[in-house]
Amino acid sequence: MKKPNLFIWLTLGAIARVYAYFLGLRFVQKDKIKGSAIVLANHNSFKDFFYSTAAVYPHRMTYLAAAKMFHESHRRPFLKLARAIPKAMFQSDPASIKSTFQILKQKGIVGIYPEGQISYHGTSLPSPFAIAKLLKKAKVPVYICHIQNAYLMSPPWTKRVFKGKVYVRFYQALTPNQLEQMNEEDIYRTIAQQLHFNTGEYNRKHQHMYQVQPIKGLEPLLYQCPACLFEGLTAVDHTLICPQCKHTLTYDKFGFLNGKSVYEWFELQRTRLEEEIIRTKNYQLSIPVRLVRYQGKGLGQVGEGVFTVSEDACRYEGTDQGHTKRYVYTINTVPFLPADIGLNVQIYYDNEVYIFEMDDPVMSTKMFIAGEYFHQLVKHKL
C-alpha cells in the first residue's frame, strides 16, 4: 500500500485547502503533526474532507473511505488519486486494517471518520467500538480534527450552501504512551467524548450566523408535524408547513426552527416513533423497493421487491439479477441502518452493500429509526 503521490497530494491538497477557506474555514487551534499518526474527525457534512485535509496540509494523509464510494463515478477518480483505502462499513474488514498498518509503518498519516456516516441531524453518531481496538494496536499518536458548524454551512440534506464560518480545532488527543497504559474501554470513551459535537447546543451558545437558503430536502428527515402529528411536511422556501393543520416551522440564520435545532426536533420525532413501537405488538415497516448492488466498478439496480424492518430482522423479498431471492439480516447483526435521507436505506453485509431505494421519502427516516431501535432492544436483552 503506497502513500498518496507527493506531487498529486500537494496539488489536490492545496486546492482543497483554498476551497476550505473559501467555504469559511477558520482554525481555532492547529497543532503541528509529523511522522506516523492517526487523525480522527467528526462527520456532519459532505464537505468535511476539505477541512481535515486543510488541517494536516502539507503533510500527506491516506483516508479510510467507505467501499461503496469507490463504486460511485463522481467520487472514484479522486479516491484513486488520493490512494484512499476502501473500508467495508460496519463489519470486520481485515484487508483495510492491513493497508492501514502498512501506511503507518511507512511513517504515514491515516485519516478516519469513525462514525462511518454523516450525521443526519448535526449531532455526533456513535462510533463502532472497533476504533478503540485499532488505536490500541496501532500505538501511534492520535489527533482530533474537531469540525464545528459544518452542518449549518453545508447540511447533508441539501446541496445548497448556507454561507457562514466553519471552525476547526486540530490537536493531539492521545500519545503512544497513553494508548499503551489505557484499556480499550477507556480509549473508546476518551475518543467519543473528544469527537462529540452537538451543532444546536454549540450554536445556541456562540450564535454564529448563516445565510438562510430554501430548506427543500429537510422534510424527509423532519417529517412529522409537532402540533397534530401528521406525517408529511411540505418545504416552502425556508419553512416546513403541515398540509393538515398549517403549523409552520421557520428556519432561521442560526440554524433553528422555531427556537429548536434540527436535532432537538428529530429527537422528539424519534421518541414518538419508539413509543409507537412499544405500544404496537409485532410492529413492522414494509415498502416496495428497488435493489441496488455493486455492478462491476459501479452501482446498479439488480431487482425489485419488498423491504421490511421488524423486531427480529430486516428482510428483502424480491428479485436479484432475474432470480427470486429472500435475504434475511437478523436485527442483532444490523447495528446501523444508514440512509440517504428521502431516497434509501442500506445494509452492509459480507463486504458488500445492499441499497434499498424507495419512492416514499418519509420511510427512509422511519426505517433507520426503527431498525436501530430494534437493535438496541435486542442488544440489551443479550
Domains of the chain plus CATH, in order, are 6-206 (no CATH), 212-279 (no CATH), 284-381 (2.30.29.30)
pLDDT 10s digits, 262-279: 999 999 999 999 999 999
Residue 327 has pLDDT above 80, yes or no: yes
What is the average pLDDT across 12-20?
A: 92
CB 132 within 8 A of CB 183: no
Taking Cα atoms as reference points, which of 354, 311, 347 lies closest to residue 331? 311
β-sheet with 313-320: strand ranges across: 323-330, 313-320, 298-310, 284-295, 352-357, 344-349, 339-340
Residue 250 has pLDDT above 70, yes or no: yes
Taking Cα atoms as reference points, which of 295, 353, 305 lies closest to residue 86? 353
Q: Which amino acid is at 379?
A: K
Residue 2 has pLDDT above 80, yes or no: no
How far is residue 73's CA from residue 62's CA, in Å, rounded to a whole number? 20
Q: What pLDDT is stored for residue 139 in this prediction?
A: 96
Q: When comparing pLDDT for 252 and 378, which is higher? A: 252
Tell me the DSSP string of 56-100: HTTS--EEEEEGGGGGSTTTHHHHHHTTPEEE-TTS--HHHHHHH
What is the average pLDDT across 281-308?
A: 96
CB 360 within 8 A of CB 295: no
Residue 337 has pLDDT above 60, yes or no: yes
What is the average pLDDT across 132-144?
A: 97
What is the average pLDDT across 161-174?
A: 98
SS (H, E, C) 240-275: EECCCCCCEEEECCCCEECCEEHHHHHHHHHHHHHH
Q: What pLDDT is stored for residue 382 in this prediction?
A: 54
CB atoms within 10 A of CB 281: 6
Q: What pLDDT is stored for residue 79 in this prediction?
A: 85
pLDDT 10s digits, 55-79: 999 999 999 998 888 888 888 888 8
pTM score of the predicted model: 0.94
Element (H or E) spanning 112, and its range? Answer: strand 109-112
Residue 119 has pLDDT above 60, yes or no: yes
Cβ within 8 Å of residue 381, ≥6 positions away? none
Q: When comparing pLDDT for 358 and 349, which is higher? A: 358
Q: Which residue has the cell 409537532?
A: 226
